[in-house]
Structure formats: C-alpha cells, structure tokens
Amino acid sequence: MPMQAAIVAEDIRKAYGPTQAVDGVSLTVARGEFFGILGPNGAGKTTTLEIVEGLRRPDSGRVEVLGQPPTPRTRGMLRRIGVQIQGLTFFERLTAREQIRTFAALYKLPASRADEVLEMLGLTDKADTLTERLSGGQAQRLSIGCAIVHAPELLFLDEPTAGLDPQARRNLWDVLRGLNERDGCTVVLTTHYMDEAEELCHRVAIMDTGRVLRADPPATLIRDLGGVTRISMPAAALAAEQARKLFPEAVVDAEEETPTTGTLTIRTTEPAAVLAELAARDALRGLSVRGTTLEDVFLSLTGREYRA
C-alpha cells in the first residue's frame, strides 16, 4: 500500500442538536486505496464523508485531504477531487449529454471526454434524454459521471449503487475498479451493501452510532471472526426455541412470518456437530450452508442483525 495518505481524519465530531452524528472518528486512507464506509441508516457515514469533503465543518477534530485542509475549498483542490452526493439535482432542462458536457466545460475539458464517460457508464443511448426523464438508476449513473469527468485523484461516492439493478450495479463496480486500478484514483465510498464492500474495497470501516468500530481489509475482518458458518433452513424444519436449546453455542436468528414460513439461520463455529444433529432429526431439507461474510462481522461487532 502506498505510504502517502490521501485522507487523514483525527477525532472528528459533529452533533446536530442532541444527535451526536459523528462521535470521534479517526481514519487514514492511503493514496491509491479503495476504502469503504459501511453501516446502517443514521450511522454517520454521510456526515463523516461531508466533513472530509469540506462540505461540512466538524465541531472538533482535524482533517487533511491530499495534504491540505478540506476547507476553504480551493479551485486547485476541486480539480483534484470528485464528489458524488446522494440525491443530486441536475441543471434543469438539459439532456444527459448536455449535463455532463457542462461539467466537462467547467473543467475546460473537450466534449469528447464527456461522451467517453457517458459510454463508460452505459448511458450513450440515453444521451439525448432530458435528465428529469431518466430512471432513478440512470440518473444515479449520470451523477457519478459528473463526479468523474475530470479524472479526479480522489473520488467520494455516497451510496453509488443505491437503486441500481443488479447488472448496472456490476457494471458500475467494473468502472470503479478500473478507475482505481488503472488510473490510480483513490476511492472512498459509503455503502449499505456488504457484498459491495467485500468485492471492491481494500479496507472497510464499519460504522455505527457515529463511531468506527473497525477498519480493516474485508478478509482480515472475516478471518478474525474465526470461521463462523451460517446454516439456513426453512423455519418449519425446526422451531427457533428448540434450535437455541439444541445449540447453545450458536446464534439463532428466526425470520418468521408465521412459525411455519420464513427462514431459520444458525451461526456456529461447530458446523459438523450442528449438521449431524439436524441430520438425526431429519431436518436437512432445504438447508444451505455458507462461510463467514462481512454481515457476520457486522453482527458480531454490533451485537445486532444488519438492517440497511
């Protein structure tokens, strides 16, 4: 990993009235790193990002972005960073192409660069569509295009794949990975999606209630959890109460609409013993077995199920 830091944040705090949105966050992101901030609604991800981007001032703490404080926002700095924010509004009555060409012009870039980015994001066939007529996912991709048109060194994305269909989501992953790997762009994104963080990020900060609980490579987070296996089965196969009695070491979650529908999940470090017991009870029908995921890490760090 490159030694030079793209971002240094030390003990940043921000309260909105009685809500402590950010409660002492310290982070370092290296240049060239793909860094994720993962956490449920209200965890403080957006506020943290806005402070680092220089869009919001912290109540206390210190931030440095590409070797400088993020505020005041200088022209030089704006040329070097790209920011995609949630719910971006576009200039009115412009087509997708005009929109992104306007952004390109602000950076004195040729129209051809704007068209290249439209192509990269799979929006060429929507180039002549007014932005207010784009679907949610298309508008989302256009907002990312506007953030990357000037090939920034450091890119901030706030929930970039929210609302995208699975294919658009994977295409966008490829675009982001390309920016990071080929162009050396440092990427910081917030996400609700565990698979996204696991797939893209070199390191992931898990945030909850304004704090960073851990910041490590996904593989490290998963390995440290020590081989938890997740065994899921139809809830009708075994009652949650009974499962808790049979497997006192395991974490048992029941997602039941009624006791006979839904899924029962057993998280255990002793899958062989659990499976043997389930086999003895003839409860293997419809069963699936998975290794540890970031979701399990989240559960173990916060003590509660992940709810996006």
By CB under 6 A, tell whether 44 contacts ligand ATP: yes
**Among 41, 75, 282, 307, interactor with ligand ATP by CB under 6 A:** 41
Classify 124 as helix, strand or coil: helix
Segment interacting with ligand ATP, rule: CB under 6 A, options 35-43, 57-65, 178-186, 235-243: 35-43
Q: How far is the CB of 94 from ligand ATP (least distance, A)?
A: 27
* C-beta closer to ligand ATP: residue 208 or 250: 208
Give φ, ψ of 297 to 5 degrees: -60, -45
Interaction of residue 46 with ligand ATP, rule CB under 6 A: yes
How far apart CA 63 and CA 247 sit, in angstroms, is 47
Q: 194 or 231: whose CB is closer to ligand ATP?
A: 194
Comparing CA positions, the residue from 223, 180, 224 lying closest to residue 202 is: 180
Q: What is the four-CA torsion angle of 240, 245, 249, 255, rounded to 10 degrees?
A: 0
Establish if 43 lies at the interface with ligand ATP (CB under 6 A). yes
Contact call for residue 101 and ligand ATP (CB under 6 A): no
DSSP, res 283: -
**267: contact with ligand ATP by CB under 6 A:** no
Q: Is residue 248 involved in binding ligand ATP (CB under 6 A)?
A: no
Cα 240 to Cα 79: distance, rounded to the nearest angstrom: 56
Report whether 285 contacts 236 (CB < 8 A): no
Work out whether 19 is an interface residue with ligand ATP (CB under 6 A). yes
Compare residues 169 and 244 and give the one whose CB is closer to ligand ATP: 169
**Amino acid letter, 30:** A
Q: Which H or E run includes 125? A: none
Q: Is 47 in the site for ligand ATP (CB under 6 A)?
A: yes
Provide the binding-site residues for ligand ATP, judged by CB under 6 A.
Answer: 16, 19, 21, 39, 41-47
